[in-house]
Amino acid sequence: MAAKKQSPKPILVPPARPLFQYAVKFICMSHIPGTSQQNKAFLPGHYQTIVNIHNPLTKPVRFRSKLAWPIEISRFLPGELKPDGVATISCENVHEYGLHLIHGFEGFLVIESATSLDVTAVYMAGDKTVSSLDVEQVRERKLR
C-alpha cells in the first residue's frame, strides 16, 4: 500500500516590522444643512481627501494602511509599491477598510512601512465645484 503524500506545511513569513508611520488627516463627507448629512464642525459643502504614497527607492516596498476615528479603527490593508511607484488612497477607497459609515468619514489614515516613503495629502472643499485646494507633505514618525 502506498503511503499518502503529505502537503508541505506553509512557511509563514512575518511582515517587515514597520519603522515609519504617517498619520494623515482624512476627510470624506458633506455638510448639508437641513438634511441628515449635518456636521456643525464643518461649513456647508463637500470635503474630500486624496493621499499619494510614493516609493523613492530602487526596490519594491510594502506598506500597510488603516483608518481610525472615534467610533472604530479599521483593520490594516496591505499595499506594495514598485520602485519609484505611486499609490493613491481616496474617498472611493474608504469602503475597502470595512468600517460602518453612514454619512462619511472624518479621522486619520495611518500608513506604516519598514522604509521611508513620500506621503502627500490633497484636501479639497467646495459645493458644486472645488473652491478650496490644499496640498501638504505628511510628516514622518519613526517607530521604535
Confidence of residue 32 (pLDDT cuts 50, 70, 90): low
Q: Which residues in 116-127 are b (16+ Cβ under 10 Å) and which e? A: ebebbbebbbee
The arithmetic mean of pLDDT across residues 31-42, rounded, is 65
Give how many domains the chain has, as a whole number. Answer: 1
Cα dihedral sign for 69, 43, 51, 103? Answer: positive
Q: Which residues in 49-59 are b (16+ Cβ under 10 Å) and which e? A: bbbbbebeeee
CB atoms within 10 A of CB 73: 15
Give the predicted TM-score (pTM) of the model.
0.82
Query: Considering the domain boundaries, does residue 1 fall inside one?
Result: no
Locate 42 and state its grid cell.
464643518
CATH at residue 64: 2.60.290
Query: Considering the domain boundaries, does residue 127 fall inside one?
Result: yes
